[in-house]
Structure 1
Amino acid sequence: MTNYLNHVLSQREYADVSFLSCPDIVTKLTVPSEVKIDYEFHSSNMTIVADEISNLELSKLNRLIVPSVYMATQLEPLLPTDHVDQVTVVPNLVDTSVFTFDEALEEPAQISSRPLIWVGRFDKGKGYRYFLRLLAQLPDNYHGVVIVSLETGPDRAA
């Protein structure tokens, strides 16, 4: 993979490249100096995040991207102080080519409860128990919506 990415980066001009869950590849890459390198963290398992940070060559990176301010506050204490300013919040965007609707299913005035949405897998550390505890503590005008991935590993995406 590293050889392939080095080849691709040498054949085309890129303004920036972004990596997720592959600190070993980032450290082995030979990236042209004008290309900005971002590394993204999307796991809520801070043990995994800390492990990735320990394997990253932070000086090669321009930004450390997280999807929320909360995640930024979790990440910053794990970093050397001279790299904290690299943390940048970039919210996850909804792919409107997949998640669309032509017209509202119900008028907002007809909706009597507020949805609380959880997206993930039932893996340890994915937070579904927190979702259920939170939902149980909220008033009855909230209802839970669960979107579950049945994938158990990265094999399909790879």
Structure 2
Amino acid sequence: MKLLLYPNCSNGGVTAVIRSRANADKENTYLVVFTNDRGGRHSFDDLDNVTVRIVPDFRLGAFLTYLFNEYVFDSINVFSMPKIVEQMVQRDELAVTYEFHSSNMSIVEKEISQLPLDRVASLVVPSQEMKSKLSERLPKRLLPRLQVVPNLVDEFVFNTNGRSDRLSSLEEGLIPLVWIGRLEASKGAHFVPRVLAQLPENYVAIMIVSLESDPTRFDRFLAECDSMGVAHRCHILMDLQQQTVAEFYRSAAARGGWLISTSLMESFGYAVSEAISCGLRVAAFELPVWSRFEEEPKLVQVDAGSVVQMASAVAGKVS
């Protein structure tokens, strides 16, 4: 049995990373422990090899002690929970792998500062670009432990087959621009209304956003839409399951739409991979992490932060 720990049980992000990993490894069983329910409790319902537990922070230490006394795990992977690693590495029989999945290097540096680095068995990142960034921040003696494990696209969910009528309620002739992510600065959601303002009225945004515990970022995005005069062209959907996201990607592709990636930092760029797997074209701000798509005709890159170039790309004015 494999043990994985991550704070937030949501419908996307690292939850999707874990789900895809387990789905591609049906011969092994997975115990996945979260500390917060963010609406993704049912993300694993169709996977017989996954057991999900949501354990509050204040009970996590005792729960892990129980687990390690009762079970032997083939592997232990911890995501974005550096403080709990200290407790785990006190047990010499445990080999703990720590995974970095944030593209925000300030967050990564904080995690590094809180980790008992010399007692962690291995360190994992999802891309070569992230490995390069971490290599600059780790003691050289630890670099042999740093590995790249690419995230897997769940091909059972993200493919060109299946439902593609999620946008049938849109008027004929409207072209959807799908955006997905958290409304944080590094993801660049504020660029979306600016891009829309550069395009004809028949372009609309389909915003698939994560749940927010603080309404401030949501308010800022709505204010940006209002200020650009495109609020009526922005459709906001909250915290969709992966199967539904795939249906929106296929539906947007069927209507000649795009995924637009306005992120200024990416550790892997799951959405781009998943959208392309569904046959959806992608216009993205240029980032080193997209080098793996060098020969991909469905991806168009533009200068990071260039609203004009992004609008030109989706309007078909650049190749």
Alignment TM-score, normalising by the size of structure 2:
0.36
Q: What is the aligned-residue identity percentage?
A: 33
Amino acid at match of 1:45: N
Larger Rg: 2
Which residue in the other structure is 2:211 paired with?
151
Change (3 A) 1:32 1:124: same
| Aligned 8 A contact 1:18 1:37 in 2 | yes
Change (3 A) 1:65 1:54: same
1:21 to 80, 91, 99: 80
| Aligned 8 A contact 2:89 2:96 in 1 | no
Quote the Cα distance in structure 2 between the aligned partners of 1:21 and 1:45: 12
Could you list the per-position Cα deviations for residues 94-149 of structure 1 after superposition, in whole angstroms to 9, with x for gaps in the alignment? 2334334537x8xxxxxxxxxxx975222122355799xxx9xxxxxxxxx98743
Residues matched between the structures, number: 134
Shift in Å, 1:75? 0.7
1:81 to 136, 140, 148: 140
Matched, 1:59 2:121: no
**RMSD of equivalent CA atoms:** 3.3
| Aligned 8 A contact 2:61 2:84 in 1 | yes
Change (3 A) 1:127 1:44: farther
Aligned ranges for residues 1-158 of structure 1 at < 5 Å? 1-29=60-88, 32-102=91-161, 119-126=180-187, 148-152=208-212
| Aligned 8 A contact 1:6 1:31 in 2 | no
Shift in Å, 1:84? 1.3
Amino acid at match of 1:150: S
Amino acid at match of 1:27: E
Could you list the per-position Cα deviations for residues 4-40 of structure 1 after superposition, in whole angstroms to 9, with x for gaps in the alignment? 1121122111121000111110012256534321111
The runs of at least 4 consecutive aligned structure 1 residues that moved more than 6 Å come to none
Alignment TM-score, normalising by the size of structure 1:
0.68
